[in-house]
Structure 1
Amino acid sequence: MSYATVADMVARFGALELIQLTDVDNIPPSTIDEARVGLKLEDASSFIDGYVGQVYRLPLQGCRKPLIPGQPVEYAMPPVLVRMACDVARYYLHDDLAPENEVYRRYKAVIAELDAIAMGKSMLSCPWGGSPGALVAADAQQGTDVHFDFSPRAVTDDTLRGFG
């Protein structure tokens, strides 16, 4: 599952940039290679899962949209993950970037945000409230009761007699 779509990429960066990055033939009419963009979006989502999966159980359920009477419940990915997936996929579409390039800086900013999420310094939030998924830490606090089993005490007054 990808956190973003080709349409999200077009909305953020424009069709012209995506054409320039994906249309290797450059024969008019130029078009976006949606398969290539989709592959990079999948790669970006897998990259993000490596961080987010340290805190949230995967796959994420998503953010529950406000209920419309008579309509089924709908879920959407947190907007921050959509943005991150687009920035990482855009970085993956470029072949060579200098560290001062905007695309590279945005990629590094995403890594910093993902590090904060993985370390518990930041949380994913939903625009309508709630959480996009269950926390991994919640797994440790749910389930069966914890039982302790101790061996008999080895040191007693009787075993210590004679030491002095």
Structure 2
Amino acid sequence: MSYATVADLVAEFGEREIRDLTDRADPPAGEIDATVANRAIVRAETTVNGYLAGRYTLPVPAEAVRGYVLDLARGYLYVSVMNDTVKARYDAAMKDLVSIGKGLMALPVAPATVPMPTPAASGMVVRTRPRTFGES
């Protein structure tokens, strides 16, 4: 499942910016290079999933993380220095993802449920004997 598309990048940041960031042909083709944009999206989705894994069942609903994916993908498209606005949004997304990964912040989705192993399932059995009064 994809959290974002090239169309989402264009809707969020404008056709001109995405074209300028993805059109790496020499000479420039004057079009959005979907391959370059999709590569940045996949990288951003992988980053997001890395922070969510273990806390949420993947994939999560796209609307819960689309903004993070778009801000990261936009940052990944820059081959030189990001401007202050792009860097601030990228850094904010990463800060939120770190907080989510640490459990300090939560997405508006159900957390992952990991079944606890039962003694029979784990193969481990602990036997104790009652303590005798006065024993150390």
Matches within 5 A, 1:81-160: 81-97=65-81, 101-125=84-108, 131=109, 134-136=110-112, 138-141=113-116, 145-146=118-119, 149-153=125-129, 156=132
Q: Which amino acid aligns with 2:86?
A: V
State the secondary structure of the residue aligned to 2:32.
Answer: coil
> Any conservation in 1 of the 2:23–2:29 contact (CA below 8 Å)?
no
Query: Over aligned residues, Cα RMSD in angstroms?
Result: 2.6
Per-residue CA deviations over 1:99-146 (Å, capped at 9, x if unaligned) read x62111111100111112112222212xxxxx2xx523x2135xx645
Structure 2 vs 1, CA of residues 17 and 146 (structure 1 numbering), >3 Å: closer, same or farther?
same
> 2 CA distance for matches of 1:57 and 1:4?
18
**Which deviates more from structure 2 when the two are superposed, residues 36-45 or residues 22-31?**
22-31
Quick check: 1:32 aligned with 2:32? Answer: yes
Return the alpha-carbon distance in structure 1 between the equivalents of residues 57 and 118 of structure 2.
Answer: 21
Hey, what's the Cα distance between the residues in 2 that align with 1:15 and 1:88?
A: 17
Residue by residue over 1:81-111, the C-alpha shift from the partner in whole angstroms, topping out at 9 and shown as x without a partner, is 111111101100001226x621111111001
Tell me the matched-pair count: 131
When the two structures are superposed, what TM-score results if normalisation uses the length of structure 1? 0.68
Give the TM-score normalised by structure 2.
0.80
Pick closer, same or farther for the CA change 1:25–1:155 going to 2, 3 Å. closer
Larger Rg: 1
5+ residue gaps, structure 1, are 63-76, 126-130
Shift of 1:24: 1.9
